[in-house]
Amino acid sequence: MSKRSLLLLPGDGIGPEVMRQVRRVIDWYARKRGIEFAVEEGLVGGCSYDAHGTPLTDETMARALAVDAVLLAAVGGPKWDNLGFDKRPEAGLLRLRKEMQLFANLRPAKVFDALVDASTLKPDVVRGLDIMIVRELTGGVYFGEPRGITDLPNGERRGVNTQVYDTHEIHRVARVAFELARKRGNKVCSSEKGNVMESGLLWRQEVIALHKAEYQDVELSHMLADAAAMQLVRNPKQFDVIVTDNLFGDILSDEASMLTGSIGMLPSASLGATDANGKRKALYEPVHGSAPDIAGRDLANPIAMFLSFAMALRWSFDLQAEADILENAVENVLNTGLRTGDIMQPGMARVSTSVMADSILREMDKVAAV
């Protein structure tokens, strides 16, 4: 069997230091479980701009399209804030999503028992929470045309972006949400602003049509995006799977991350369509950003990156039991009281990125031995 292939894109800020720890996890699977990956590394974001004058080279783009899965850590930083849109670090990430056609972004928000008190919400509101946000990732206002900033005859300027969705874009992401729901709590809540936006109204109508045709066994509800934002902090446990567009998904998933205590805990998977061989393009990345304020100081929480790799084991390589080892090791280490700064609580032991990773790797030995 040919080796499973991975492209690692550490990116900017804390990206390289959390990716370094994931490499150790990848090595662990080769050493301890005989699961080998062919690993290449590349540049994306500000570091690529510094080296090549573009946030993503064509060569790296081509490699991303060729491998089984891409792991990306984070892009961006104040250093590149004043570049034009096409040169900004974020443009590298958006190009990857678009050209790999990763239309479904899975952002699970799960509260570990050990972290119930790390959330700013009351423990009862978040204990046991396990929701999945399915965010549309290649359409909507992020990519809609026309877009741009133009000069007006009256001396003012105009900024334009376009929110646009076609039927097939709505159906394919809603399908992912319904399929996921069947394996979880069997509930989908679809969220848009159909009260003010035609694209939102179409979204709702098309989700209803697909549900009627193929997914009547799944419980479907609809919530306006503003109300969903409110309900996510009021009573998040009412949700199972939330499906929503690119922009609302961006916002709602940041909000959901804080239910879990820290954005440093949340992984994500961005998936394309399944091809004739049953394969799908995929990119895995933490929901958190590049955190330039703590970069290079061994302070970052590596857990979101680890859990993103666990999602890769599940979704790209069908290694469910192996993913369990990593996820259980993370949970056990949290139960022993180790915390990086972002999830620090009174009475716990504050540790660095590398000590957190050391502990999780040691715990993986124990979990695997059982």
Residues annotated within a binding site: 77-90, 97, 107, 135, 226, 250, 254, 289-301
Among 27, 36, 40, 90, binds ligand IPM (CB under 6 A): 90
Q: How many CB atoms lie within 10 A of CB 150?
A: 10
Residue 173, Cβ density class (10 Å: 0-12 exposed, 13-18 middle, ≥19 buried): buried
250 assigned to active site: yes
Could you give the CA distance from residue 138 to residue 144 in angstroms, rounded to a whole number? 10
Residue 250 binds Mg ion, judged by CB under 5 A: yes
Closer residue to ligand IPM (CB): 169 or 363: 169
C-alpha R_g of the chain: 20
327 binds ligand IPM (CB under 6 A): no
**Catalytic entry in 27, 117, 130, 254:** 254
165 noted as active-site residue? no
Residue 299 half-sphere exposure, CB side, CA atoms within 13 Å? Answer: 13
Token pair listed for 19: 């990716």
Q: Which of 29, 142, 165, 215 is catalytic?
A: 142
Tell me which residues in 238-297 interact with ligand IPM (CB under 6 A): 250
**Total of chain residues touching Mg ion, rule CB under 5 A:** 1
Q: Which stretch binds Mg ion (CB under 5 A): 159-167, 171-179, 242-250, 297-305?
A: 242-250
At closest approach, how far in Å is the CB of 74 from ligand IPM?
Answer: 8
96 makes contact with ligand IPM (CB under 6 A): no
- CA 276/CA 279 separation, integer angstroms: 7
Q: How many residues bind ligand IPM (CB under 6 A)?
A: 3
- Smaller CB distance to Mg ion: residue 80 or 317? 80
- Determine which residue in the list 93, 100, 116, 218 makes contact with ligand IPM, applying CB under 6 A: 93
Annotated binding site for substrate: 97, 107, 135, 226
Stretch that binds Mg ion, among 62-70, 92-100, 247-255, 331-339 (CB under 5 A): 247-255
CB within 8 Å of 93: residues ≥ 6 apart: 44, 45, 55, 72, 75
Active site residues: 142, 193, 226, 250, 254
Residues lying near ligand IPM in the complex (CB under 6 A) are found at: 90, 93, 250
